[in-house]
Structure 1
Amino acid sequence: GDLAAQPKGARIVAVTHIPLVTAMQCYEPESWLDTPHNWTFVVNGRDVLRVLRDHDVLAVLQAHSHVYERIELNGMSFITTGAVAGADWRGSFLGTPEGYTEIAVSGRTVTSCYRTYGFSSVARQDVPI
């Protein structure tokens, strides 16, 4: 309903906590795949994507995984940010250091840049791939 209420041609940036589109299953430790629930992506993501494709969605900003990713699909950018806490303040998480993502929108172009800020944990233990 919220999307339908937008004027025709309105540029839209959607935000979700758990990713709609991610490559996490390609590189997360295999032991994480054997869990009682799916924590990696929105289970009904295909249904959501069907709704989004009927609107001028430039990007979907996502989080949850603490890994920085940018995936381009059907004219939409799916940008997943890392976390200021990295791996819960113990170092980087699957190669993404502690940080944040800067987003800029200019016309129809969405740019993203992941920034680290020099945090160093006293109990550093990077979570390996």
Structure 2
Amino acid sequence: MLNPAYASYTGNNKGSGEFNLNSGTIDSANNLSGEEQSNLIFLIAASILHEDVHRGDDVDGVDNPEEEGEKFEEEAFGESIQRYNSGDNREKFNKRYQKILSDKFFKKSMKMIKETREYEEKKEKEKEKDNTNIKRTLNINILK
């Protein structure tokens, strides 16, 4: 279960209940730097997403027997995000995200290459057609 020290959502059955982040956690992030700060910011982001799942549950009014925030974390990250594992999970997330970006970039690049080739082929065909027309014109002029 997510440590309540990070974040909480208190519902009102409308989805506009009270959302809180622990100010100590935020201050802690401000006082860190580098990897430690990035890891804590990742934990805070995961906590916000976790609590937003509870807000969604508050809106739909269906209370599932399982802890929806935990289930979300397990599906999204493979486990509950805590301070001790936020670094490893941040790195895993970044690698997956980079792969997604890389795949999208690759697909866009391949599409651009294909479009460029098609354009060049079209231009080449037009050039060949123009050359054929020039030859015909020359032949006609020579025959006259």
Same fold, TM exceeding 0.5? no
Identify the structure with the greater strand proportion.
Answer: 1
TM-score, with structure 2 as normaliser: 0.27
